[in-house]
Structure 1
């Protein structure tokens, strides 16, 4: 995996900070990338037998910054998928680090942010991808699927593929046998919604006469001979075979 040398050094710094800490608090963003990021970091901490706690928040603002630092009892506070935009407002504390892919501001706080190394954090790597690079540095390569979940959850595959470091992480996960890569149509609710509803809600790609139309989706399935139900259960996309 090609990682800029300065970025590799920053990853090592983060890995060392985690290794040296005994009590760690993780604060993360409450979306797919944030939760995947926290999942990776907490998995590391569990494997390293650290004491840790985790909290998900909507955003970092003046009020919760004050709350976070007023009674800090951990050796290390890790902010994931947030914090880079507010880094100059955080206390200059050696026990704080940020792993974030959003546009950063400079500060003395230890930050792992792709924008500092010429990498586009909006498309090429998510916060969970950055957290995985720290996990990878510490020998935990089995956490790559969470990085892929975070990238996709942040719509970094919106053009039909993953790019940059995301692509490298995906290749690594596939090589390790942790994921299977297949080309497929992007349908929301393939495992949870009746097939006709999943088709109705599909807008990317837009399906003429089907997207936004329950009746159109039902008529399409009837026309090609796919049943709406099997027994008393709705047929989902995941229930279909390739035939």
Structure 2
């Protein structure tokens, strides 16, 4: 089945490439729009490179959005008609995209993989779901953008980083439906990965599932971020204590991995579920000079930090620039800017995570355990961070609850954003993305998502009381289906 999907999608990419070529050859002022996350920015970077290098367009503008509401407001607040070519990436929002098509007609081209899209404009929307591909981890916007750009003449060497950063940043792993024990890119994402590996642009290897091991010493990373840091804190020999994972030789890495496996073997914990948490496939960029850009997962986290934490236009521009241009990733002054923004981002994230952990509450509805956090503080977290906070709660809780729901209400813009994660697909009928899409629409909002993750947004609530009511109504509706 997966081979059939790849064949169908590859054929569609050939056709859609020609559609985009036709739009670009006629256009003079180009607008590139995308979602405010690693996949969205990676896809925008690839499309911007394509427009600059292949179509030689000089008038290129870009915009990113946290939500459908922001996109809708922007369409009403600026003259979108000034653009005669618009590329939208990683933004599945049926009503807003329909409005954009109604304004610009056949000058719009969409690359996406979400569940919400305007069916009547399918000739201009490259979305695997519209081709019958329903596998959630099959393809993301950045790998689709890569294939479109490559088909139109852009070199893989100029876009290897954003292609994989977007896929990894969108958590496009799947191990439950595949033979591999360790989480890895699959489907069409795998096809793009293998192509980049064949060019020597990406290296794939199994490693401990420890964030920060490319930017810190291995010992620091395991002690700080390891799933079972107390169990493995003595695994790294003293002689490696000043080395990052990137600095270790192949045999040194293998030695650490074997020691972890030996220890869990003695504990009788060699199971797929355990191994998939302890290890992960890293996607390494061998031609990158600085640690922040060595590995796709850490690179994608950096991008999400820059674009999702209200650090300003400068941070978002920097994110797009370092995804586009390798020479900027080798510039010390750029690196210093990145590190300055990251310090600010990490401070904010710690505050939001702490707030969620301290104030999360459990609901039990029909024997389903739901961990919830609704932020209505004086300085609520930005809507763009709710997904990360939901993932954080799920992580620290070790997935012991069934559903995790985080919401934030931003009074100034009158926006309620809700993110949902489920720990098992058996909890509900269908995918949570489809369910949230229908619930949100029924309640006057916008929503969508994936198999295990979804989000929705509402406006016109006016105050905290109404926002809280909608927040809990969404939860009860999920469990009533």
TM over 0.5: yes
| Displacement of 1:88 | 3.4
Distance in 2 between the 1:175 and 1:240 partners? 23
| 1:31–1:164 distance in 2 versus 1, CA, 3 Å | same
Matches within 5 A, 1:117-128: 117-120=131-134, 122-128=136-142
Which of 152, 155, 162 aligns to 2:171? It is: 155
Residues 183-239 of structure 1: CA distance to partner in whole angstroms, max 9, x if unpaired? 333331122234234213545xx43xx1xx5xx654443xx334544xxxxx42223
TM-score (norm 1): 0.80
What secondary structure does 1:12 align onto?
helix
What secondary structure does 1:90 align onto?
helix
Distance in 2 between the 1:121 and 1:77 partners? 28
**Which region of structure 1 is more displaced relative to structure 2, 25-34 or 186-195?**
186-195
Q: Are 2:183 and 1:183 equivalent residues in the alignment?
A: no
| Displacement of 1:131 | 0.9
**Which region of structure 1 is more displaced relative to structure 2, 123-132 or 87-96?**
87-96
Could you tell me which residue of structure 1 aligns to residue 127 of structure 2?
Answer: 113
Distance in 2 between the 1:6 and 1:26 partners? 21
Distance in 2 between the 1:31 and 1:200 partners? 28
Could you tell me which residue of structure 2 aligns to residue 137 of structure 1?
Answer: 151
Q: Are 2:85 and 1:80 equivalent residues in the alignment?
A: no
Residues 29-77 of structure 1: CA distance to partner in whole angstroms, max 9, x if unpaired? 121111110110011011022120112221221x532423641221112
Which of 17, 21, 31 aligns to 1:25? It is: 31
Q: Is the 8 A contact 1:12 1:134 kept in 2?
A: no
Distance in 2 between the 1:59 and 1:187 partners? 30
Q: Report which structure shows greater RCO (CA 8 Å, sep ≥6).
A: 1
| Displacement of 1:91 | 4.4
| 1:19–1:33 distance in 2 versus 1, CA, 3 Å | same
What secondary structure does 2:125 align onto?
strand
Could you tell me which residue of structure 1 aligns to residue 162 of structure 2?
Answer: 146
Could you tell me which residue of structure 1 aligns to residue 75 of structure 2?
Answer: 68
Could you tell me which residue of structure 1 aligns to residue 238 of structure 2?
Answer: 225
What secondary structure does 1:115 align onto?
helix
Runs of 4+, deviation exceeding 4 Å = none
Q: Are 2:105 and 1:100 equivalent residues in the alignment?
A: no
Distance in 1 between the 2:203 and 2:125 partners? 32
Could you tell me which residue of structure 2 aligns to residue 232 of structure 1?
Answer: none
The runs of 5 or more residues in structure 2 that have no matched partner are 1-5, 176-182, 253-481
Q: Is the 8 A contact 1:98 1:112 kept in 2?
A: yes
Could you tell me which residue of structure 2 aligns to residue 174 of structure 1?
Answer: 197
| 1:16–1:178 distance in 2 versus 1, CA, 3 Å | farther
| 1:52–1:168 distance in 2 versus 1, CA, 3 Å | same
TM-score (norm 2): 0.43
Give the superposed CA RMSD.
2.5
Distance in 2 between the 1:100 and 1:107 partners? 13
**Which region of structure 1 is more displaced relative to structure 2, 12-21 or 150-159?**
12-21
Residues 132-171 of structure 1: CA distance to partner in whole angstroms, max 9, x if unpaired? 1210220224134422221111111253222111111112
Distance in 2 between the 1:18 and 1:186 partners? 42
Could you tell me which residue of structure 1 aligns to residue 244 of structure 2?
Answer: 236
Residues 1-47 of structure 1: CA distance to partner in whole angstroms, max 9, x if unpaired? 73444453233212332333221111111211111101100110110
Distance in 1 between the 2:224 and 2:151 partners? 40
Structure with greater helix percent: 2
What secondary structure does 2:207 align onto?
coil
Q: How many residues align?
A: 227
